[in-house]
Structure 1
């Protein structure tokens, strides 16, 4: 006869203790929390700190418009290498507008962004008269930057309201500076030299319609820029 094996007792079940505030669960996420902020997030957070920010403490705009302007300012500073970036909450003193529709930026790009066709012809003529070949390095000009989001719907009337509140050329003594200048200077030395070099060609800027750089931000933080004029301009020649 074969003896059948005796039944074995079931193994003891572990006692489960629910995690409470007095006995937290030791998961990796809770043991090593990561509270670090990105450079952009830190920049926006500092702008809301009265002790760190020099901006208007009570901007009369919705927070999303203010944050959108700061996001674009961060992009043109660290991605496009602009300098002397300022945010404007009030219309230009040389206009009669009562208010700005939203915060507007101004700054100095590292190189010229736009050359009018008539100025292009004049520059090439001067190069030929001086016996020089190629295209010279033209001095950069201060530009307006209009922060927008891709989900917004814009019409000509909205653009007209923005242009009516802006001067042809941004004034360097208006607005609030967003980034410290190198070596504690109010303005970068390069921008002062560029302004002096650009005195003889500034007539093209003053005599032409107003222009701005339309910055369009997508949900993935991609920023695309377009040059927009207040009116009809002559097509550029390639």
Structure 2
């Protein structure tokens, strides 16, 4: 094992530990495949972390008709461990997005009942139909981890 491999392994362990013990993620796994430039992590956060802006609009409409909130079950998410001192290029990030699937292994796709299902519109942004995204886990020298969303392509801003 080279020094670089040892560094990457330690970086992954710091992020895994932070997700599990500080943020209560479960089902954490590492994911490596030949065409990935770096090992990824995936896992289940305790609550849903991201709602697509178009999904948010459809959910607001659906909640208005239902007169009750729509449950927001968490989804498995990809995590890319990085160190603050690393300089990644756009082509390196593009290689990660090209190599990964939209959803991590073991993700369940919400069932869409059909065109008569009043909730079908907001379900279109979940499961395999969602865009590729990952959570950048940026580790600093003192082991502080900061998380940022990164998307493959353009995503319009969310409504607050």
How many residues in Structure 1 have an aligned counterpart in Structure 2?
149
TM-score by length of 1: 0.58
Q: 1:68 to 1:199 in 2, by over 3 A?
A: farther
Deviation, 1:139, is: 0.9
Q: Distance in 2 between matches of 1:108 and 1:213?
A: 12
Q: Between Structure 1 and Structure 2, which shows a larger proportion of strand residues?
A: 2
1:209 maps to 2:152: no
Deviation, 1:67, is: 1.4
1:116 maps to 2:59: no
Deviation, 1:131, is: 2.0
Residue aligning to 1:224: 146
Which has more radius of gyration? 1
TM-score by length of 2: 0.85
- Ranges in structure 1 where 5+ consecutive residues have no aligned partner: 1-57, 91-97, 174-194
Residue aligning to 2:28: 85
Question: Matches of residues 35-114 of structure 1 in structure 2 within 5 Å?
Answer: 62-90=5-33, 98-114=34-50
Deviation, 1:199, is: 3.6
Q: Distance in 1 between matches of 2:62 and 2:101?
A: 29
Greater relative contact order structure (CA < 8 Å, 6+ sep): 2
Deviation, 1:202, is: 5.0
- Ranges in structure 2 where 5+ consecutive residues have no aligned partner: 113-121
Calculate the aligned-residue CA RMSD, in Å: 2.1
Q: Distance in 1 between matches of 2:98 and 2:152?
A: 9
Deviation, 1:130, is: 1.1
Aligned with 2:23: secondary structure? coil
Q: Distance in 2 between matches of 1:208 and 1:117?
A: 12
